[in-house]
Amino acid sequence: MNTTSIPPQDIPDFAVRKDWLLGQLHDSVTQLVSISFFETLMESSRNGAFKGDLGHGGRGEEVFGGQLDRQLAMEMSKSPKFGVTQNIYQDLAKIYDRPRGWAEIQRMLTPVNVVG
């Protein structure tokens, strides 16, 4: 996720603040779709019934396969051909037009520490 240390309320121009905040929202949605959908799908296909002796990349694939999955998943979630990312983003971006909507989006983008 591309983040900067500038809080949105410190960005002077309203239009620039909106563009910056919605850009952060889009990056977060892309990462969410990448991790929750594509990376999970690729991991299960790599370790599932399709795994065989043919076409196996050996120890290197075992070690670095997860990194490759992560990178490919991120690229797939950015693709305009896959509409889920864009649909989620558009639904969440509508929040911005509500009164104090920018604060709601900022709260959504704030990392949460989950103790489990």
CA gap 19, 54 in Å, rounded: 48
Rg of the Cα trace of the chain?
A: 18
Can you give the pTM of this predicted structure? 0.67
CA proximity to 108, closest of 19, 22, 12, 6? 22
What letter does residue 13 receive in the DSSP assignment?
S
HSE-CB for 97 with a 13 A CA cutoff? 5
Domain range list for the chain: 12-109
pLDDT digits (tens, 9 = 90+) for 14-65: 667 788 888 888 898 898 888 888 888 888 777 766 666 655 667 777 777 7
pLDDT for 5 equals: 56
CA gap 81, 101 in Å, rounded: 29
How sure is the predictor about 108, in pLDDT bands with cuts at 50, 70 and 90? Answer: confident
